[in-house]
Chains A and B, each alone.
Chain A
Amino acid sequence: MPRKGADIVIETLKEEGVEVIFGLPGGAIMEVYDALYRDGTIKHILVRHEQGAGHMAEGYAKATGKVGVAMTTSGPGATNIVTAIADAYMDSVPIVVITGQVPTHLIGNDAFQEVDIVGITRPITKHNFLVRSIEELPLIIRQAFYIARTGRPGPVLIDLPKDITQQLSDVSIPSEEEVRASLPGYRPHVEGNIQQIKRAVDLIMSAKKPVLYVGGGAVNAEAQEELIELAELMRIPVTTTTQGKGAFPETHPLSLRMLGMHGTYYANMAVYNCDLLIAVGARFDDRVTGKVDEFAPEAKIIHIDIDPASISKNIIVDVPIVGDVKIVLRKILEEIKKRGAKILHPEDRERWLEQIEKWKKLHPLTYRNSSKVIKPQYVIEQIYEVTKGDAIIVPGVGQHQMWAAMFYKFSYPRQFLNSGGLGTMGFGLPAGIGAKVGRPDKEVFVIDGDGSFVMTMQEIITAVQYKIPVKVAIINNAYLGMVRQWQEFFYDKRYSEVDLSVQPDFVKLAESMGAVGFRAEKPKEVREVLEEAMKIDDRPVVLDFVVDKEENVLPMVPPGKSYRDMILEDGKGTSEAETMYLVG
Chain B
Amino acid sequence: MADTAGSSQITVKKGPKFRETRKGQVRKHIINVLVRNEIGVLARIATLIAGKGYNIESLSVGETHEKGVSRMTIEVIGDDIVIDQVVKQLRKLIDTLKVRDITDVPHVERELVLVKVHTPTARARDEVLRIVEIFRGKIVDVSPETYTVEVTGDEDKINAILELLKPFGIKEMARTGKVAMRRELFVDENLQD
Contacts and interface: CB of A to CB of B under 8 A. Distances in A.
Interface of A: 118-119, 122-123, 126-127, 130, 132, 147, 183-186, 292-298, 307-309, 313, 315-316, 358, 361-364, 366-368, 562, 564, 568-569, 572, 575-578, 580-584
Contacts of A368: 1
A298 B17 contact: yes
Contact of A362 (B6, B48, B89): B6
Contacts of B6: 358, 361-362
Contact of B43 (A119, A126, A358, A367): A119
B138 interface: no
A342 to B, nearest CB: 29
A577 B7 contact: yes
B171 interface: no
Given A295-B19, A580-B12, 5 more contacts: A185-B95, A293-B18, A316-B20, A562-B16, A572-B2
Contacts of A297: 16-19
B47 A123 contact: yes
A92 to B, nearest CB: 12
Nearest to A368: B1
A356 B92 CA distance: 40
Given A130-B39, A185-B94, A584 B16 contact: no
A175 B51 CA distance: 36
Contacts of B47: 122-123
Interface size on B, as a range, is 35 or more
A293 B21 contact: yes
Contacts of A564: 16
B189 interface: no
A118 B39 CA distance: 11
B181 interface: no
B12 A186 contact: no
A362 B3 contact: yes
**Highest count of chain A CB atoms <10 Å: which of B1, B48, B97:** B1
Contacts of A184: 36, 97
Contact of B51 (A123, A295, A581): A123
A296 to B, nearest CB: 7
Given A122-B47, A185-B95, A583 B13 contact: yes
B107 interface: no
A577 B10 contact: yes
B29 interface: no
B94 A568 contact: no
21 contacts: A123-B51, A127-B93, A130-B39, A130-B40, A132-B39, A184-B36, A184-B97, A185-B35, A186-B94, A293-B18, A295-B19, A313-B85, A316-B21, A362-B4, A362-B5, A362-B7, A364-B3, A569-B2, A577-B12, A578-B7, A584-B11
Interface in B1-54: 1-7, 9-13, 16-22, 35-36, 39-40, 43-44, 47-48, 51
Given A294-B18, A295-B19, A309-B85, A580 B10 contact: yes
A23 B10 CA distance: 58
B91 interface: yes
Contacts of B95: 185
A308 B7 contact: no
A300 to B, nearest CB: 11
A343 B44 CA distance: 48
